[in-house]
Amino acid sequence: MKIALIGYGKMGKAIEEIALQRGHEITLKIDIDNISDFSQQNISEADVAIEFSSPHSAFDNVMKCLQFKIPVVCGSTGWLGKLEEVKKTCTANNGAFLYSSNYSIGVNIFFALNKYLASLMANYSEYDVSITETHHTQKKDAPSGTAITLAEQVLEKIKRKKVWVNHISDNAEELEIISERIDPAPGTHQIKYSSSIDNIEITHTAHNRMGFATGAVTAAEFIKGKQGIFTMKDVLGF
Ligand SMILES: NC(=O)c1ccc[n+]([C@@H]2O[C@H](COP(=O)([O-])OP(=O)(O)OC[C@H]3O[C@@H](n4cnc5c(N)ncnc54)[C@H](O)[C@@H]3O)[C@@H](O)[C@H]2O)c1
């Protein structure tokens, strides 16, 4: 498979390493210093684009891929206010788009576990629930996209919580997400249910970026030649 990498930072480089190991070819690498190379002609050599740039550039990059009719796997976080616009453009252009706030298979198992635990806890109002996420200090967005996904899953099941907030809160209707930034920290997410009797906690800790990169390349292999809007659920089947 021929891959265009849009964003060639820590994740772009990790994705390149995994893609080459799996026998794929990188036909284009776009970063801030060669944006003018992001043309229809250059990208059309690729079967799929993988976009990991920044919260500020992701939307424009994804829209450009869709306009150039190239299937796009996006991992950039912190831009999801514009997700609906991307989905509409994808459908209008008969394109292919796959987004996940976290491509690691372990985190996707953790998402399934989070949903199941939240459904068990739904009727036990004596437990308060909160989320903590810890990342390196260079992370640009807070809370993390993964923490937002976890929070939305909890809100879907725990109806006593109405909204997530990114600060300490005394309001029982608010689901607290605490964001910690320390170095080095590739990414930890914890969901904690606490009552006066006991605590139940589930934690996912990433040891490095390779899990995200492997998931993103697996997603690119999945989306090649397809049309539609997908998530990691479609790739993994759970
Ligand atoms: N979904 C996931 O599984 C997952 C996992 C890790 C990181 N991320 C997200 O991926 C994004 C990138 O993470 P990173 O660790 O590689 O960051 P990074 O800062 O190391 O790399 C980002 C790169 O994008 C480049 N860039 C900036 N503007 C650009 C533009 N307009 N076009 C192309 N490239 C541009 C930067 O110069 C930089 O090299 C972040 O939003 C991060 O939160 C997602």
pLDDT of the residue at 185: 86
Q: Which residue among the candidates 24, 64, 135, 204 is catalytic per the annotation?
A: 135
Residue 99 Cβ inside 6 Å of ligand 1? The answer reads: no
pLDDT of the residue at 193: 98
List, for residues 10-22, the tens digit of each pLDDT value.
999 999 999 999 9
pLDDT of the residue at 186: 77
113 burial (CB, 10 Å; 0-12 / 13-18 / 19+) is middle
Please name the residue whose Cα sits nearest to atom 40 of ligand 1.
76
Domains of the chain and any CATH numbers:
2-103+210-236 (3.40.50.720), 105-205 (3.30.360.10)
DSSP secondary-structure letter at 205?
E
pTM (predicted TM-score):
0.91
- Is residue 204 annotated as part of the catalytic site, yes or no? no
Please name the residue whose Cα sits nearest to atom 21 of ligand 1.
9
Mean of per-residue pLDDT scores for the chain:
97
Angular region, 67: left φ>0, alpha ψ -120 to 50, beta rest: alpha
Query: Cα(93) to centroid of ligand 1, in Å?
Result: 25
SS3 165: strand
Return d(Cα 62, Cα 136) in angstroms, integer. Answer: 25
- Is residue 56 annotated as part of the catalytic site, yes or no? no
List, for residues 124-161, the tens digit of each pLDDT value.
999 999 999 999 999 999 999 999 999 999 999 999 99
Strand-by-strand arrangement of the 96-99 sheet:
25-30, 2-6, 48-51, 72-74, 96-99, 228-230
Q: Nearest Cα to 128, choosing from 165, 174, 163?
A: 174
